[in-house]
Amino acid sequence: MTEFPFEHFLSTPEALDCFSSEAIVQGMLDFEASLAWAQSEVGLIPTGAAAAIAAHCRVSLLDCNAIVVKSSHAGALAIPMVQQLRAAVATVDKEAARYVHYGATSQDAIDTAVMIATKKSLAMLDAELGRVVYAVAKLAREHRSTPVLARTLMQAAQVTSFGAKCSNWLAPIARSRWALRELKSDALRIQLGGAVGTRALMGKQGVEVSRLMAERLGLTSAPAPWHTQRDRIARISAELGILSGSLSKMARDIALMMQSEVGELGESAEDGRGGSSAMPHKRNPVGAMIAIASGVRAPLRVAGILAAMTQEHERGLGNWQAELAEWAGLCVTVHGAAHAMGDFCSMLIVDVARMRANIESQRGLVFTEAICQLLASDLGKNEAEALVQVASRKAIANDSSLAHELRIALAADPMSFGVIDERELAEAFSVDSAASAAAWVVDANLNELAAMRALD
C-alpha cells in the first residue's frame, strides 16, 4: 500500500501493490532464485547451492524496509537486497552464499523484478479494460439510433446518435487494449547481462540460463541483454499514454453530458459516492474525475520515459533510475483510470428524454445543413444558404423555430415559393431520421473492432 494518499485516491490498492516495496523486492528474489536454479541446471553452480539460495528468496525472511532505506545510499535497490540474501544464505551454507547473484548485476535483478510487476499490472489493466469495452459496446448497440446533440467547439451542431458517440469512445480504447496485448509479449523480457551486458562469467551457457529463467518466471526470453535498449519500454509506455488519453476523452464527454443544465447522462445512486462536503444535493462524477486526472498525468510520465532513453554507454546514470519511477507511476495511473471508468460505465444512466429535449430546445437550428441541401437544388447553393441564414437569425431574435421562420421566408419570396413541400420540410427537420442516419457509425466501428478481435 502506498504511503501517499493522493496516489491511493487516483488508483487502486491492487495496482499500487504491484509496484510496492515488497512486490519489487520479492520480484528481485524471484530473479535470484530462478538464476540459481538455471545455473545449477547447466552446471555453473552446485544444485545444493541453488536449493539453499532459493530457500531464502522470500521477502518475509528479509528486512524489506532496510533494503529500501539503504538503496539510496547504495545506488540501487538490488545492492542491499543481495547483501541481505547472501548473509542469510551464509548462516546455513557459507559455500552456497558464494553463488548468490553469480554472474548477474543489479540492473538484471531490478529490470526483471519490474517486468514481473508489469506483467501482473497489465493483466489487471486488461481485465479492467474488458469491463469498459463490454459496457460501452453494449451502450453503442442499445442506443444505435437514439438521438443526441452532436457538439463541435462546445456548441450544439447537429443531431447524431448516442450509439455513434459511444462507438467513437470505444474504438480507440479497444484498439489500445489490442495493441497492449501485442506489445507486452515482446516487451516483458528477462534481463540478464551481468556487469556490462556480456554475461562474461556465464560464457556460452548464459543464453540457456536466460531461457530457463524466462520459462520459470513466465517472461519472454531475451537472446541478448537490453540494459540500455529501452525502446520496448518506451513503445509500450506510449501506448499506455494513448490509452489514458482515450479514457480521459470519454470521461470528459460523459462529465459534460452529466452537467446539471445538460442532464443527458447520470450515475446510479451509491452511498458516499460523489458527494460534497458543503452541498448535499451534488452528485459529482468521481469516475470521470479520476480518468481525467490520469489524462493529465500520464503524458508527463510518458515524456519522462522517452527522455530517459538517452542512457550513457552500458548503463544509464540517472535516466534509467528515473525511468523506473515513471514506469511504475504510469502503470498505476492508467490502471486507476481504467478501473474508475469500468465502475463508472456500469452505473451510467442514459436519459433519452432529456437528450431529445435538448435537441428540441435548439428550435430546429441544428438542421440548417439539411435544409440548405434541400433548397439548393432549386434555389442554388448560395441563395439557399443566404435564405437559411436570415431565417436562422430571425428564429434566434424572435425566439421562434427555424421551421416557422423558413416558411415565412419561402412564402414571401416569389422566387422560392412552392419549391418545397411540407413533407420534405418535415423530413429535413426529423430528429429520428437524423439519428438513424448516424447509426452506420456504430456498425462501422464495431465491425472493424470485431475483425481485429479487439472486442474479445
Q: Which helix (H) or strand (E) holds 349?
A: strand 348-350
**Could you give the angle at the alpha carbon of 314 between the alpha carbons of 311 and 317, nearest 5°?**
45
378: closest CA among 410, 331, 401, 352?
A: 410
Which residues contact residue 75 at a Cβ distance below 8 angstroms, ignoring those fewer than 6 apart?
none
Q: Which of 131, 181, 252, 315 is catalytic?
A: 315
Residue 87 identity: A
d(Cα 33, Cα 30) in Å, to the nearest integer? 5
Return the beta strands (E) in 29-92 as ranges: none
Query: Bridge-partner residues for 158, per DSSP?
Result: 150
d(Cα 133, Cα 173) in Å, to the nearest integer? 7
Check the CA dihedral 311-316-318-321 and report its sign. positive
302: closest CA among 361, 217, 223, 243?
A: 243
How many residues are given for the chain? Answer: 456
Check the CA dihedral 113-116-117-118 and report its sign. positive
Q: Which helix (H) or strand (E) holds 289?
A: helix 286-307
Which residues contact residue 33 at a Cβ distance below 8 angstroms, ignoring those fewer than 6 apart?
53, 54, 57
Contact status, residue 15 vs residue 121, Cβ threshold 8 Å: yes
Is 276 considered catalytic here?
A: yes
**71-77 long-range Cβ contacts below 8 angstroms, 24+ apart:** 76/106, 76/107, 76/110, 77/24, 77/25, 77/28, 77/106, 77/110
d(Cα 163, Cα 186) in Å, to the nearest integer? 35
Contact status, residue 110 vs residue 198, Cβ threshold 8 Å: no
Query: Bridge-partner residues for 155, per DSSP?
Result: 152
Q: Which of 276, 361, 377, 453 is catalytic?
A: 276
Which residues are known catalytic residues?
Answer: 276, 315
